[in-house]
Amino acid sequence: MTIADITREVAGALPEGMYIGGEFVEATGGQRIETIDPGTGRSFADFPAGRTEDVDRAVVGSRRALGGPWRQVTPAQRGAILSRAAALIRRDAQRLSLIETLDSGKPLAESRGDIETAAAYFAYYAGIADKLQGDTIPLGPDYISMTLHEPVGVTAHVIPWNFPLVTTARGVAPALAAGNTAVVKPATQTPLTAMALGPLLREAGLPDGVYNVVTGRGSDIGDALTGHPGVDHVTFTGSVPTGIGVMKTAADRVSSVTLELGGKSPVVVFADADLDAAVEGTLKAIYLNAGQVCSAGSRLIVERPVHAAMMERLVKRTAALRVGHGLTEPAMGPLIAAGHRRLVAGYVDDARRRGIAVVAGGREVEVEGCAGGYYYAPTILDDVPAADRVVQEEIFGPVLSVQVVDSPEEAIAAANGTPFGLCAGIYTRDVTRTLRFARDVEAGQVFINQYFAGGVATPFGGTKLSGFGREKGLAALASYIQVKCITARI
Name the residues annotated as catalytic: 260, 294
Q: Does the footprint of ligand NAP cover residue 185 (CB under 6 A)?
A: yes
What residues have CB less than 8 Å from 236, skipping those under 6 apart? Answer: 158, 226, 242, 243, 246, 247, 257, 258, 259, 260
Rounded Cα–Cα distance for residues 51 and 216 (Å): 7
Site for ligand NAP in 221-250 (CB under 6 A): 222-223, 226, 237-239, 242, 245-246
- 321 burial class (0-12, 13-18, 19+ CB within 10 angstroms)? middle
Site for ligand NAP in 142-161 (CB under 6 A): 158-161
Looking at 40-48, 94-102, 180-188, 317-325, which segment touches ligand NAP (CB under 6 A)?
180-188
> Which residue, 263 or 378, is less far from ligand NAP as judged by CB?
263
Amino acid at 172: V
Task: Give the single-character DSSP code of 68.
Answer: T
- Which residue type occupies 344? V
> If we measure between CA atoms, which residue out of 90, 79, 92, 78 comes closest to residue 10?
92
Sites for ligand NAP among residues 275-294 (CB under 6 A): 294
* Residue from 434, 448, 441, 440 nearest 466 by CA: 441
**From candidates 10, 20, 25, 35, binder to Mg ion by CB under 5 A:** 35
431 exposed, middle or buried (CB, 10 Å; 0-12, 13-18, 19+)?
exposed
The site partner of 188 among ligand NAP, Mg ion, none (C-beta below 5 to 8 Å per kind) is ligand NAP
Q: Within a 10 A sphere around the Cβ of 90, how many other Cβ atoms? A: 16
Task: Indicate which of ligand NAP, Mg ion, none lies near residue 298 (CB less than 5 to 8 Å, by partner kind).
Answer: none
Q: Does 394 bind ligand NAP (CB under 6 A)?
A: yes
- Of the candidates 383, 333, 376, the one whose C-alpha atom is nearest the C-alpha of residue 358 is 383
From the CB of 161, what's the least distance to ligand NAP, in Å? 5
Helix axes 52-67, 218-226, angle to 10 degrees: 30
Is 189 a binding residue for Mg ion by CB under 5 A? The answer is yes
Helix ranges, 271-303 (H): 275-287
Out of 153, 262, 334, 362, point to the residue binding ligand NAP (CB under 6 A).
262
Binding mask 77-116 for Mg ion (x = CB under 5 A): --------------------------x-------------
What SS3 state is found at 445? Answer: strand
Give residue 131's Cα distance to chain centre. Answer: 27
The piece of 135-143, 213-221, 371-379, 411-419 that touches ligand NAP (CB under 6 A) is: 213-221
Q: Tell me the site size for Mg ion, rule CB under 5 A.
A: 4
Nearer to ligand NAP, 101 or 190 (CB): 190
Q: Which of these segments, 13-21, 87-95, 121-129, 261-269, binds ligand NAP (CB under 6 A)?
A: 261-269
Which CA distances in Å does 385 have to 351, 361, 394?
11, 20, 16
- Amino acid letter at 482? Q
> Tell me, what DSSP letter sits at residue 255?
-
User: What distance in Å separates the CA atoms of residue 259 and residue 377, rounded to the nearest whole number?
Assistant: 31
Least distance (Å) from Mg ion to the CB of residue 23?
23
Shortest Å distance, C-beta 188 to ligand NAP = 3
Q: Do residues 213 and 27 touch, judged by C-beta distance below 8 A?
A: no
Residue 102 or 268: which CB sits closer to Mg ion?
102
Nearer to ligand NAP, 392 or 482 (CB): 392
208 or 394: whose CB is closer to ligand NAP?
Answer: 394
Helix, strand, or coil here: 46?
Answer: strand
Number of residues this chain uses to bind ligand NAP (CB under 6 A): 28
Choose among Mg ion, ligand NAP, none what residue 35 binds, the Cβ cut-off being 5 to 8 Å by kind. Answer: Mg ion
Q: How far is CA 313 from the centre of its chain?
A: 30
- Output the smallest distance, CB 217 to ligand NAP, in A: 4
Supply the minimum distance, in Å, between the C-beta of residue 189 and Mg ion: 5
Whether 215 and 195 have beta carbons less than 8 Å apart is answered as yes
When the beta carbons of 258 and 428 are compared against ligand NAP, the nearer one is 258
> Which residues of this protein are in contact with ligand NAP, per CB under 6 A?
158-163, 185, 187-188, 217-219, 222-223, 226, 237-239, 242, 245-246, 260-263, 294, 394, 396
> Which residues of this protein are in contact with Mg ion, per CB under 5 A?
35-36, 103, 189
